[in-house]
Chains A and B, each alone.
Chain A
Amino acid sequence: MVEIRNLTVAYGAVTALHKISLTVNAGEIVTLIGGNGAGKSTTLRAISGLIRPRSGKIMYQGTDVTGVPAHELVARGLSHCPEGRLVFANLTVDENLRLGAYLQRDRKRIAEELDFVLTLFPRLSERTTQLAGTLSGGEQQMLAIARALMSQPRCLLLDEPSLGIAPLLVKSIFDQIVALNRTRGLTILLVEQNANLALEISHRGYVLETGRIILSDHAAALRSNPDVQEAYLGA
């Protein structure tokens, strides 16, 4: 579904990614693990069209989408739930969710999707008229994920969904992610600090270190890899 080849991304003089290559097949959950500043968010930003790579190629559903702006990729079923949530604090929860379906014209489909995400995150349904900026951190994270789902994506890029969230809630969010993958066949590329949990629900994983992919394997193999255990799983 997503294929990156020899991707190099730089911010001015700082090169964040050095010729990385990775693949996410349709129907997979793939995790990208790596320390702070490894380039995980940068990888997602490049795929979703937020930043233009310096060189390399990004394929999405078999077509070259390198340099295609973010808003056009949303129309093709790619949805990116960014680091730091970026919910529209000045808008209500309801407005945030409806903006998630900005490109959907069919009102009935919007209503159905709204119902769907609100059953996924019942906490939000009690707060639809509240300004998003007044939600708690965890609620904002739910809103960010729900908003990303409103566009009915085929492929979801999730950047640290567990950040700043109570463990119990993290568990429930991860359960929802797995459910989406199972029931809807949603392809997911996940970035997580909590590598243990992420690998538990993933099919495969990549390890990123200072802008380079140093390891890629099945999730189970990564979890039992002593180097990975030491560096990322806190073993």
Chain B
Amino acid sequence: MIEFLQQLINGISLGAIYALIALGYTMVYGVLRFINFAHSDVFMLGAFVGYYAVKKLGVPVGGLAGGLLVLCLAMSICAIVGILIERLAYRPLRSRPTLSVLITAIGVSLLLQNLGQSVFGANPKAFPRLFPETNLHLGQLSITSNQLLVIAVSLVLLAGLHFIVHRTKTGTAMRALSFNATASSLVGINNDRIISFTFGLGSALAGAGGILYAMNYPSIDPLMGTMPGLKAFVAAVLGGVGSLPGAALGGLLIGLIETFVAGTGWSTYRDAVAFAILILILLLRPAGLLGKSRSDKV
């Protein structure tokens, strides 16, 4: 039982990170109908922004304020990078077939990884401690404060995202655009601006995900985005690409499943399991858990 609860908490905090990344995939898919494969590298960038904020800029960390400052910094820079990627690489291809854009996205991903290796260096770096760390003991259950922080920050970000998408004019415009780009331009929405905003929003979440991920893993490197990125992609598909609640749910499920698989004797298959799930969904329910064939997609 204790073992189960322990794994549950581990799984939720991992799943929360996948959820944050998956939301970016799904939002971009909603407005542009393609998978932004460079998204996982924006996630990696978020972790490096955190690293350099502490090591080079000397942001004082170890307290709550410093940690949050680093988090905001990573989110802002990732948002800007996301907007630039769309602007420079994807927008010129707007009227081209999706396949061209997909291939470009893979190209951008490789570019970011290689730039990362040459600028940051290929060697793994120890990620600094951002927040005060303690272990909380509830009976035999041991929870790290970082795990709680990951869950809390993710919840706040999800609530913020929900607010933006459902309660603001820009969010309504995002939903309108994702339904039909012609109709949205006919009510006066500047689609390009909403697309930029969507990339910024999704990339900020990926940046936050990068920080939260790095907090719970010993080191970061320029290729670190690949695996979490792929799993978050699977999460988005599992939840139903285009559905925001779906991405959140999918992320959580993938995190839980991976953690429980790792906790059994099957731990060598922890990465493979996500892909097995992908194949299963594509075979059994291509629209995903919460995806609808057409309506209600963001």
Instruction: Point out residues on A near B: beta carbons under 8 Å.
Output: 48-50, 69-71, 74-75, 79-80, 82, 86-91, 95, 98-100, 102-103, 131, 133, 147-148, 150-151
Answer whether A102 and B173 are a contact pair too, CB < 8 Å, given A70-B185, A74-B188, A90-B179.
yes
Partner of A89, one of B172, B182, B184, B295: B295
B153: min CB distance to chain A, Å: 29
B190 at interface, CB cutoff 8 A: yes
B183 touches A86 (CB 8 A): yes
A99 touches B172 (CB 8 A): yes
B179 touches A95 (CB 8 A): no
Cα–Cα, bound, A90→B190 (Å): 19
B31: min CB distance to chain A, Å: 13
A103 touches B188 (CB 8 A): yes
A90 touches B296 (CB 8 A): yes
Instruction: Point out residues on B near A: beta carbons under 8 Å.
Output: 169, 172-173, 175-176, 178-180, 182-191, 294-297
A88 touches B188 (CB 8 A): no
A80 touches B169 (CB 8 A): no
Q: Which residues of A contact B184 (CB under 8 A)?
A: 88, 99
Give A70's nearest chain B residue, CB to CB.
B185
Q: Which residues of B contact A90 (CB under 8 A)?
A: 175, 178-179, 295-297
- What total count of A-B pairs have CB within 8 Å? 70
A82 touches B182 (CB 8 A): yes
B290: min CB distance to chain A, Å: 13
A12: min CB distance to chain B, Å: 12
B185 touches A91 (CB 8 A): no
Cα–Cα, bound, A14→B3 (Å): 67
Give B190's nearest chain A residue, CB to CB.
A71
In addition to A88-B175, A102-B189, 7 A-B residue pairs with Cβ atoms within 8 Å of each other are: A71-B191, A90-B175, A91-B175, A99-B172, A102-B187, A131-B295, A148-B186
B173 touches A86 (CB 8 A): no
A99 touches B295 (CB 8 A): no
Q: Which residues of B contact A75 (CB under 8 A)?
A: 188
Q: Which residues of A contact B190 (CB under 8 A)?
A: 71
Q: Which residues of A contact B175 (CB under 8 A)?
A: 88, 90-91, 95
Q: Which residues of A contact B180 (CB under 8 A)?
A: 86, 88
Q: Which residues of A contact B296 (CB under 8 A)?
A: 90
Cα–Cα, bound, A151→B186 (Å): 10
B295 touches A100 (CB 8 A): no
B179 touches A80 (CB 8 A): no
Q: Which residues of B contact A100 (CB under 8 A)?
A: 187
Q: Which residues of B contact A131 (CB under 8 A)?
A: 295
Cα–Cα, bound, A91→B178 (Å): 11
A87 touches B188 (CB 8 A): no
Q: Which residues of A contact B169 (CB under 8 A)?
A: 102
Answer whether A80 and B186 are a contact pair too, CB < 8 Å, given A88-B179, A91-B176, A98-B172.
yes
Give B176's nearest chain A residue, CB to CB.
A88
